[in-house]
């Protein structure tokens, strides 16, 4: 009986917390607890980092932004490293732990995270973060690496952007 009362009270409190008042109008606002539907609603209303804003005609289709070239260049730069997660609409690529195997009882792996922070086509639009994991037997330590490797990867991505842009211009000029 006690558990049923606690369960019922918990459900009541959880459902009551889904409604908040608008500070201006004083009306209750229903908050959707479903994260996926909230993300889809935000995408439809505001657009996304890589796809850009919702089209002006009011349709639900999103137009591609200029950073599509950055996305292609980042994937091209990481083509030999297994990718763990990627979200084109959210603007992030995360590689899996990647390393050269065991040496002297230690394994050293790196993980690369690439974030697209704006839809402009420049160096400040891409942020690269690298982590290193060193494992000895069953104990592992993970540390963020210095910006030197991150800068090399970022430079590689920007070089690849230049190559893609040059090849696109050459295709246009041949037509």
CATH number of the domain encompassing residue 100: 3.30.530
pLDDT at 19: 56
Please tell me whether residues 163 and 113 are part of one structural domain. Answer: yes
Tell me whether residue 54 is in a domain. no
Please tell me whether residues 79 and 156 are part of one structural domain. Answer: yes
What is the DSSP code (8-state) at residue 102? E
**What pTM was estimated for this model as a whole?**
0.60
Tell me whether residue 147 is in a domain. yes
pLDDT at 61: 39
Question: What are the residues whose beta carbons fall under 8 Å from the beta carbon of 167, sequence distance 6 or more?
Answer: none
pLDDT at 59: 41
d(CA 29, CA 24): 11
Whole-number Cα distances in Å, 31 to 16, 37, 84: 10, 11, 32
Tell me whether residue 26 is in a domain. yes
Task: Please state, as a whole number, how many other Cβ atoms lie within 10 Å of the Cβ of residue 66.
Answer: 14
Please tell me whether residues 79 and 162 are part of one structural domain. Answer: yes
**Low-confidence residues in the chain, pLDDT < 50:** 49, 51, 54-67
Domain count, the chain: 2
Please tell me whether residues 74 and 11 are part of one structural domain. Answer: no
For the packed helices 68-77 and 147-174, what is the interaxial angle rounded to 10 degrees? 120
Please tell me whether residues 72 and 151 are part of one structural domain. Answer: yes
Tell me whether residue 51 is in a domain. no
pLDDT at 91: 86
Please tell me whether residues 22 and 102 are part of one structural domain. Answer: no
Tell me whether residue 60 is in a domain. no
Please tell me whether residues 23 and 72 are part of one structural domain. Answer: no
Q: Classify burial at 69, counting beta carbons within 10 Å of its beta carbon; exposed 0-12, middle 13-18, buried 19 or more.
A: middle
pLDDT at 56: 47
Tell me whether residue 47 is in a domain. no
- Yes or no: say if 153 and 130 are a contact pair by the CB < 8 Å rule: yes
Closest listed residue to residue 50, CA positions, set 127, 114, 118, 112: 118
Q: Which domain holds residue 10?
A: 1-31
Question: What are the residues whose beta carbons fall under 8 Å from the beta carbon of 5, sequence distance 6 or more?
Answer: none
Please tell me whether residues 105 and 151 are part of one structural domain. Answer: yes
Please tell me whether residues 93 and 25 are part of one structural domain. Answer: no
Please tell me whether residues 8 and 94 are part of one structural domain. Answer: no
Tell me whether residue 39 is in a domain. no
Tell me whether residue 100 is in a domain. yes
Task: Convert 86-104 to b/e letters by CB count within 10 Å (16 or more is b).
Answer: bebeebbbebebeeeeeee
pLDDT at 33: 63
Please tell me whether residues 72 and 9 are part of one structural domain. Answer: no
Specify which residues 21 forms β-bridges with: 28
């Amino acid at each position: 009986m006690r558990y049923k009362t606690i369960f019922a009270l918990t459900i009541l409190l959880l459902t009551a917390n889904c409604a908040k008042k608008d500070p201006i109008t004083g009306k209750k606002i229903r908050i959707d607890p479903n994260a996926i539907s909230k993300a889809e609603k935000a995408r439809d209303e505001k657009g996304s980092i890589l796809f850009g804003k919702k089209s002006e005609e009011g349709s639900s289709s999103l137009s591609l932004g200029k950073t599509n070239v950055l996305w292609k260049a980042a994937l091209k730069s990481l083509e030999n490293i297994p990718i763990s997660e990627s979200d084109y609409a959210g603007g992030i690529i995360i590689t899996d732990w990647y390393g050269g195997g065991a040496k002297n009882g230690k394994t050293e792996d790196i993980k690369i995270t690439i974030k697209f922070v704006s839809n402009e086509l420049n160096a400040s639009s891409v942020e690269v973060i690298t982590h290193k994991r060193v494992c000895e037997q069953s104990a592992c330590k993970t540390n963020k690496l210095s910006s030197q490797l991150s800068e090399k990867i970022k430079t590689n991505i920007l070089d690849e952007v230049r190559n893609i842009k040059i090849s696109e211009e050459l295709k246009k000029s041949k037509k």
